[in-house]
Amino acid sequence: MTAIEFVQGDITRQSVDAIVNAANSSLLGGGGVDGAIHRRGGPEILAECRKLRAGHYGKGLRTGQAVATTAGRLDARWVIHTVGPVFSRSEDRSELLVSCYRESLRVADELGARTVAFPAVSAGVYGWPMDDAARIAVGTVRDTETAVTEARFVLFDEQAYEAFTAQLR
């Protein structure tokens, strides 16, 4: 069974086997969590992302998929990049968000990662309502069969931390 932990703080400062990146489809860095991971992790992450782009992911990573690279200078072995869906009021895209967490755990299992730090995928600039993002994230990680022993949700602010911790109360 996977232990679920919540931390308010900076995901780039976590000492875990793998850090999940809320990436954009280009895999070439961006803002928010993605930009912070690329900046702190250094050029090694971008170099591996460019190799992925030159290979199988030439058109970019599709929403809901996940792929791993080195963690560069981060205190982790790997970064698992996943592309979250943009929230829509007119279309239910929740299965794509579920897929981000399931696929990240699948990649973690393939790597042999036992401790994984997750951000609140899609709950930033992609506009997913925080309470719903927390419900989907925690429920999916809790219900997915995995060899990961610890899933740590690293939340940037108090609102996100409260929304996520409420899911286990």
Angle at 2 between CA 161 and CA 25, to 5 degrees: 65
Q: Which one-letter amino acid corresponds to residue 169?
A: R
Given the residues 10, 34, 109, 157, select the one marked as catalytic.
34
CA distance 38 to 50: 13
How is residue 28 annotated by DSSP? S
A 10 A CB-CB count for 103 gives 19
Q: Is residue 34 flagged as an active site residue?
A: yes
CA distance 86 to 154: 20
Residues 6+ apart with CB under 8 A from 159: 130
Active site residues: 34
